[in-house]
Amino acid sequence: MEEFPSDAPDHCPGTQSEQAGKGSSCQGCPNQMMCATAAGRETDPAIAEIAEKMQTVKHKILVLSGKGGVGKSTFSAQLAHALSSDGTKEVALLDVDICGPSIPRIMGLEGERVHQSGSGWSPVYVEDNLAVMSVGFLLSGPDDAVIWRGPKKNGLIKQFLRDVDWGELDYLIIDTPPGTSDEHLSIVQYLGSAAVDGAVIVTTPQEVSLQDVRKEIRFCKKVGLPIVGVVENMSGFVCPKCKNVSQVFPPDSGGAEQMCKDLNLPLLGKVPLDPRIGRSCDEGKSLFSEAPDSPAALEYHSIVQRIQSYCSNLVTKERNSN
């Protein structure tokens, strides 16, 4: 799998080139050292260790967004809740948004701490079958700022993948920060040999968001990361009382639906803007227990079914190929 630095220019040599990390276009690039490492000159032994660790995880799904504020962490949390609502499934949510770890609050786990065991770090559990790991559990308080350079961020992501006692999992959902930066390149590189199912890309309907999402899609294609599909979040406001729908963010350019048609990508669904979603996140509760019959909850279930179908098809293809 050929990996490229984030926002790679057209003349980027790529990590497989002998000029990776050395060419004139590499000067000043924040991923210069990582590209040089990934090019095979300094093979990181952690990649093989992570691949072995991930053998007990059936499905690995990244949640990406090109722009901040589109509800990516909210979607990741509700996706984890929806998947774990099937008591026969073991689910984990990994937060690699190192500088903005909102998952502990959204999952109702603020103040929790990570414990060390003989088999590694123990994740924090929301339910018996829903585990969570975040840098937020390593901070002294929710207002602490994480002011780290790339290498330290990458080192923590490596630890999360290699040193956490995940156990046997059906789904590992990985919530990432906005953009295409160090964290994204790290997670793709470290999971390169671990058979990632793909990425779910979250956007909102307006063009200013879709513009950044197209960059995220380009990033996925450059690093060889499959795209499960696109979710349009905040797709109209549904009044909880009268059920009328209003377009808060008008899709002037056709929204995610038109973008998916243009780029030949699946549209997984459109989640409406519902104040009960925000309230559930602030209170650290599941939307499916607070408003199970809401249009947003029903749309989430539809999206989850499409994601599960995608994962099942991958398993079938793998069996047939063997």
Domain boundary assignment for the chain = 48-321
**Rounded to the nearest 5°, which phi and psi values hold at 33?**
-65, -40
Nearest-angstrom CA–CA distance, 183 and 25? 21
Q: Which residues contact 27 (CB under 8 A, 6 or more apart)?
A: none
pLDDT at 249: 85
What is the pTM assigned to this prediction?
0.85
Q: Which residues contact 132 (CB under 8 A, 6 or more apart)?
A: 80, 92, 93, 94, 95, 103, 104, 107, 109, 123, 124, 125, 126
Q: What is the pLDDT of residues 27-70, one digit of tens each?
A: 767 666 666 665 444 568 889 999 999 999 999 999 999 888 89
pLDDT at 14: 58
Across 197-211, average pLDDT:
95
For residue 31, give the nearest of 53, 10, 5 by alpha carbon. Answer: 5
Q: Report the 10 Å Cβ neighbour count for 16.
A: 14
Lowest mean pLDDT among 87-91, 155-159, 239-243, 295-299: 239-243
pLDDT above 80 for 97: yes
Lowest mean pLDDT among 11-25, 152-166, 177-191, 263-277: 11-25
Nearest-angstrom CA–CA distance, 150 and 110? 25
Lowest mean pLDDT among 77-81, 105-109, 178-182: 178-182
DSSP reduced 3-state for 121: strand
What residue type is assigned to position 253 of the chain?
S
Contact 250, 216 (CB under 8 A): no
Which is higher by pLDDT, 309 or 14? 309
pLDDT at 253: 85
Strand residue runs (E) in the chain? 57-64, 91-95, 115-117, 120-122, 124-127, 130-134, 169-175, 198-203, 227-238, 245-246, 267-273
pLDDT at 5: 42
Tell me which residue has tokens 């984990």.
92
Across 76-97, average pLDDT:
96
Half-sphere exposure (Cβ direction) of 98: Cα atoms closer than 13 Å: 21
**Rounded to the nearest 5°, which phi and psi values hold at 211?**
-60, -45
With bands split at pLDDT 50, 70 and 90, how would you rate the model's confidence at 140? confident
Tell me which residue has tokens 């890309």.
201
Nearest-angstrom CA–CA distance, 131 and 108? 12
Question: How many residues are given for the chain?
Answer: 322
With bands split at pLDDT 50, 70 and 90, how would you rate the model's confidence at 149? confident
The class that CATH gives domain 48-321 is alpha beta
Q: What is the pLDDT of residues 256-306, one digit of tens each?
A: 999 999 999 999 999 999 889 999 999 999 999 999 999 999 999 999 999
Q: Tell me what the pLDDT averaged over the chain comes to.
A: 87
User: Over the Cα atoms of the chain, what is R_g?
Assistant: 19
Nearest-angstrom CA–CA distance, 233 and 204? 5
pLDDT at 230: 98
Segment holding 286, helix H or strand E: none
